[in-house]
Amino acid sequence: MGAKLQGADLRGVNLRGAYLIAADLRDADLGTADLIGADLRDADISGAKLSESIFLTQMQLNAAKGNARTKLPPFLTYPSHWAATNI
């Protein structure tokens, strides 16, 4: 919780069930990271690369903070509360 992971290379990391509450994941690369059950409440994923993450859900995104620079898989959508976030 509250981890400082800004810009971290987390490609392929197993984050199953991880408590990433309020974590700083800005500009982190989470390509092929396993996010099943990861708690992203209030995590800042602005600019993070999540387009190839596995088991990422819309509910996880809705609980996080992000912006238009956050890269998402094509089957997920940007939450409406991200629109007011600075880019």
* Span 24-50, pLDDT tens digits: 999 999 999 999 999 999 999 999 999
pLDDT value, residue 62: 97
Where do we find the tokens 């620079």?
Answer: 69
Q: How far apart are the first and last CA of the chain?
A: 24
**SS3 (DSSP) at 19:** strand
* Res 75 pLDDT > 70: yes
What's the pTM?
0.92
Task: Report the alpha-carbon distance of residue 49 to residue 59 in Å, rounded.
Answer: 17
Task: Report the alpha-carbon distance of residue 41 to residue 63 in Å, rounded.
Answer: 5
**SS3 (DSSP) at 34:** strand
pLDDT value, residue 9: 98
Q: Which domains does the chain have, with CATH numbers?
A: 1-70 (2.160.20.80)
Task: Report the alpha-carbon distance of residue 82 to residue 26 in Å, rounded.
Answer: 14
* Res 18 pLDDT > 70: yes
